[in-house]
Amino acid sequence: MAMKSAASSAVRSLLSSSSSTFSRNLHAQGERKKIVGVFYKGGEYAKSNPNFVGCVEGALGIREWLESKGHQYIVTDDKEGPNSELDKHLPDAHIIISTPFHPAYVTAERIKKAKNLELLLTAGIGSDHVDLNAAAAAGLTVAEVTGSNVVSVAEDELLRILVLVRNFLPGYHQAVNGEWNVAGIAHRAYDLEGKTIGTVGAGRIGKLLLQRLKPFNCNLLYYDRLRMNTELEKEIGAKFEEDLDAMLPKCDVIVINMPLTEQTRGLFDKHRIAKCKKGVVIVNNARGAIMDTQAIADACTSGHVAGYGGDVWPVQPAPKDHPWRFMPNHAMTPHISGTTIDAPLRYAAGVKDMLDRHFRGEDFPEQNYIVKEVNQFLFETNHHGHETRCWFFCNSLSVFFHLLQKPSSMSDNTQEYLVEVQTTTTQETVLTPLDNVVTPLDNTSSKNVCEKKKIVGVFYKGNEYAKLNPDFVGCVEGALGIRQWLESQGHQYIVTDDKEGPDSELERNIPDAHVIISTPFHPAYVTAERIKKAKNLELLLTAGIGSDHIDLKAAAAAGITVAEVTGSNVVSVAEDELMRILILIRNFLPGYHQAVNGEWNVAGIAHRAYDLEGKTVGTVGAGRIGKLLLQRLKPFNCNLLYFDRIRMEPGLEKEIGAKFEEDLDAMLPKCDVIVINTPLTEQTRGLFDKDKISKCKKGVLIVNNARGAIMDTQAVADACSNGHVAGYSGDVWFPQPAPKDHPWRYMPNHAMTPHVSGTTIDAQLRYAAGVKDMLDRHFKGEDFPEQNYIVKEGQLASQYR
């Protein structure tokens, strides 16, 4: 009761002021106003896109409208210091418009100078650049365009989750630097599916993120002041957590979606971070000051935090020596998540609407207010209703004050609020490493009913990474985790990465090998010549999906069975494709380079960054991976198209929301994004040549995780260079490993990596289990699952005929 009384007293003290404080005249309808807009400069990018309205030159696209009504509209990026352009215009400004991306800090001192000031508008979401206490005391209205960049930020959060969980950036650096080291990426790359994601805050952005995550089959948790209604919780599939400190150690990924207040400032200090699971990934697009700067840097350096990503910094623009620029495994950018081309068009329209209402003396939509009228300070708007709240935290106690709108029975002249105080104690939690979805392989022996075989496995070397993760079984050292099982049955198991040339380890073992196992990530090319030499060869197994490293016709003619672990990396590749779509469409990598290089130029990113929502995405091929990609894309509200030899069942087509296209050439010009999901055959080799690419829409984005040889190498490089293709991404090349001088390494706007999409730790465990199962069946003389066959009894599977 003492705490409740103290809280109530504090709230009343904050909200009550003498009437003399509010001496400013309310605006008069029809009066000419001076409006000052503070935005970032577009510079050389300003003319590159007519919809680039969020910069100084674009001026939100409202200059002509304002000036036609007789208002004065000053637009500048100069906002710091007493001699700034902003300070010069403060004394007679009526309205100041700013953004979170280039914030004009409206301090108490500036508010005192601005004698005519009536309205502070945020073109976007987040008004922590405004001294809200001073604004409320001065009788100013503070408002923002609530919801304008919700889609943009939620998409960006999912992008950063995928980039960190799947360990994309080390692979990208390899592609740029002429390297090829799959182990350096794969040893700590995971699927997102099956992991536990917790959002701290579940307002509009948090809810939308959870909805986008639903098809990923994650364990979704959320901590918020208010619980969702039961129906929405069930629809999203998220579980409410009452205690933040109890939720943190459960999460593989933590996303910050709360506003910055005095109570949340520095909330994630070293003590709170210590409560997180070792190896956690953290994404923060809310506000940088919610995190303790040095605590995050230290946790990333020590490895307790496996990766940190976000576009918000405690000070913006971030100085060149900010420690987050130098953290290992970071995915930082300047503040750009909410300033795609689509978002400014929305918040520009919102600003125009609110200015129009203000000029006419009308109210704004209720959810847009941050400070409304005299003596009404909405500490933090609940973007799902009209309640307002403030938060308070301490280390061992989670407390929040729930400020309810005053009951109707209270006098209109009395500023009364009810205060609810809820407390939950916390306990220390033992930290555990990132859980794996797939159970490690069972190496128990099966009954020996066959002759002894020589099995040759060809994988990439793990080297120094081999011992870092016990589930890293896809490398030479891991050997798919089946060595003990094979040798316990008397089989000989040779494992190598040496596969090229007549003196290679593979070549020396071919003559008496019965089984060869390889992967698409470090393929052993089994040519017709090698098949002739392999007199004992019975079985060629692909640990993964894709057997184009094998001469299938020669294998069929020789009576050799060819099989792969169908489905083993479907989830992995589909997730990776969606990640690459988001990386390209949102122009993520130029922002990442700015963060690394000590730069800050929002315009250099924003002028060609778009939301994925509403765009047209077409997949060329809709097999297992293509279908799963379309299912993952459904919550993004895209226009989904697919071209395939076989049309889906009507029920599935309706469920996914995808439209079948009978003619590839007719589909291509409709697409903003094209994803290649067709196998490499003689018919698809070089399919996307100069002519085919020219049929695509100018500015198209292309993602290809299928096979590099489906694309004409030089045609893709040329189309990226001349801008017809705005961005190209994939992890497949021709040949593989890609040589240092491969032209795709030097294309503008590429997001290439070595071949890693299907060799996450989760995928390795799946395809290793599949290989073990097929070997066991082979030794017993049993058939494989039918879908695993590529060549069976001299016949090729239908897609390869």
Residues with active-site annotation? 569, 707, 736, 755
Beta strand segments in 412-528, E = 418-425, 454-458, 492-496, 515-518
Other C-beta atoms lying within 10 Å of the C-beta of residue 663:
8
Contacts of 369 (CB under 8 A, 6+ apart): 141, 142, 143, 378, 381
Distance (Å, whole) CA 552 – CA 533: 16
Sequential DSSP letters for 305-319 = EEEEEES--SSSSPP
390 contacts 263 by C-beta, under 8 angstroms:
yes
- Measured between its terminal Cα atoms, the distance across the chain in Å is 78
The pairs formed by 14-23 with CB atoms below 8 angstroms and a separation of 24 or more are 14/133, 14/377, 15/375, 15/377, 15/415, 15/417, 16/375, 16/415, 17/137, 17/375, 21/137, 21/138, 21/139, 22/138, 22/139, 22/374, 22/375, 23/139
Contact assessment for residue 715 and residue 704, using Cβ atoms and an 8 Å cutoff = no
**Beta pairing, strands 388-393 & 397-404:** antiparallel
Scored b (16 or more CB within 10 A) or e, 153-171 reads bbbbbbbbbbbbbbbbbbb
Query: Cα(616)–Cα(639) distance, rounded to whole angstroms?
Result: 4
Tokens of 394: 């301490």
Per-residue b/e over 317-343, b at no fewer than 16 CB within 10 Å?
bbeeebebbebebbbbbbbbbbbbbbb
Tell me which residue of 349, 270, 456 sits closest to 62, measured CA to CA: 349
Q: Which residues are annotated as a binding site for substrate?
A: 125, 149, 545, 569
Residue 26's CB is within 10 A of a number of other CB atoms, namely 11
Q: Strand 72-76 and strand 95-98: pairing?
A: unpaired
What one-character DSSP code corresponds to residue 31? Answer: -
CA dihedral 401, 405, 408, 414 (to 10 degrees): 80
Binding site residues, as ranges?
A: 125, 149, 204-205, 224, 259-263, 285, 311, 335-338, 545, 569, 624-625, 644, 679-683, 705, 731, 755-758
Distances in Å between the Cα of 404 and the Cα atoms of 5, 143, 384, 496, 732 are 15, 20, 14, 68, 56
Instruction: Give the gyration radius of the chain's Cα atoms.
Output: 29
User: In sequence order, what are the residues at sequence separation of 6 or more whose Cβ sits closer than 8 angstroms to the Cβ of residue 581?
Assistant: 612, 617, 673, 675, 701, 703
In Å, the largest CA–CA distance within the chain is 99
Q: How far apart are CA 677 and CA 680, in angstroms?
A: 10
Enumerate the known binding-site residues for NAD(+): 204-205, 224, 259-263, 285, 311, 335-338, 624-625, 644, 679-683, 705, 731, 755-758
Q: Are 239 and 220 in contact (CB under 8 A)?
A: yes
> What is the per-residue DSSP string for 674-719?
EEE-----TTTTT-B-HHHHHTSPTTEEEEE-S-GGGB-HHHHHHH
Helices (H) and strands (E) in the chain, counts: 27, 30
The amino acid that residue 698 corresponds to is: K
The answer to whether 311 and 581 have CB atoms below 8 angstroms apart is no
